[in-house]
Chain A
């Protein structure tokens, strides 16, 4: 399985933008880049996904490098409710969604 590399933890001030990086140098042509997050004591929650082009939705933006070997999840204005573990996952649909250790985001008021 193609793997991703994320920082173990990051910290952000409330109401400031957060850029969560993810490296995936072994990505294949059929892999989509997915981001999920898990808030404390809850199941994972879908955030955003993309294949080649940058994507925006109401929760976040996903910036994908031109060579697709890295991507960045952008939270435009972090709130305390965004404190969670964020998972960057490569997913083709042919194998299960495999969660790594993710990045634990702390948001400071």
Chain B
């Protein structure tokens, strides 16, 4: 079974540009989560999508946005990039809305903003 796949693996952008990161969940998983991990810092929750709808949003500015497609894949868009957006962006997927859910994480996309 294929795991959670993220693309691109690495992305280099300059300040003010836009970045788009993509995530393909495990087959059958309907929930997709996005997290940001800046260097040396903890995992910060960004966005949660389930069945195509945004379920929850972390404490991030509106220039962080995303969507989930009918096939449950997802993309994260970051507009007007700032230097502090440089981080590892992790995507995770899970099967259904239950406390017994297990999240499976991808390897991440590393965004560098110059």
Q: Is the CB of A93 within 8 A of B45?
A: no
The main secondary structure of chain B at its interface with chain A is: loop
Contact with B along A1-42 (1 / 0, CB 8 A): 000000000000000000000000000001110101010001
- Nearest residue (CB) in A for B48 is A96
A101-B58 Cα distance, complex, nearest whole Å = 17
Q: Is the CB of B105 within 8 A of A91?
A: no
Contact with B along A59-102 (1 / 0, CB 8 A): 00000000000000000000000000000000111111111111
A98-B44 Cα distance, complex, nearest whole Å = 8
Interface presence of B90 (CB below 8 A):
yes
Q: Is the CB of A45 within 8 A of B42?
A: no
A97-B99 Cα distance, complex, nearest whole Å = 10
Q: Is the CB of B101 within 8 A of A93?
A: yes
Q: Is the CB of B102 within 8 A of A94?
A: no
- Shortest distance from the beta carbon of B51 to any chain A beta carbon, whole Å: 14
Q: Which residues of chain A are near B43, meaning CB under 8 Å?
A: 38, 44, 99
Residue total for A at the interface (Cβ-Cβ under 8 A) = 25
Q: Which residues of chain A are near B103, meaning CB under 8 Å?
A: 36, 44, 46, 97
Bin the interface of chain B by size: 20 to 34
The main secondary structure of chain A at its interface with chain B is: loop
- Nearest residue (CB) in B for A101 is B42
CB contact between B45 and one of A31, A34, A42, A96 (< 8 Å): that residue:
A96
A100-B42 Cα distance, complex, nearest whole Å = 7
Contact with A along B5-24 (1 / 0, CB 8 A): 00000000000000000000
- Shortest distance from the beta carbon of A61 to any chain B beta carbon, whole Å: 17
Residues of A near any B CB (own CB < 8 A)? 30-32, 34, 36, 38, 42-46, 49, 51, 91-102
**Nearest 7 A/B pairs, CB to CB:** A43-B105, A32-B99, A99-B43, A93-B98, A93-B99, A92-B99, A96-B45
23 CB contacts below 8 A, A to B, read A30-B99, A38-B43, A42-B107, A43-B90, A43-B92, A43-B105, A43-B107, A44-B43, A46-B103, A46-B104, A51-B99, A93-B97, A93-B99, A93-B100, A94-B97, A96-B48, A97-B92, A98-B45, A99-B35, A99-B43, A100-B42, A101-B42, A102-B42
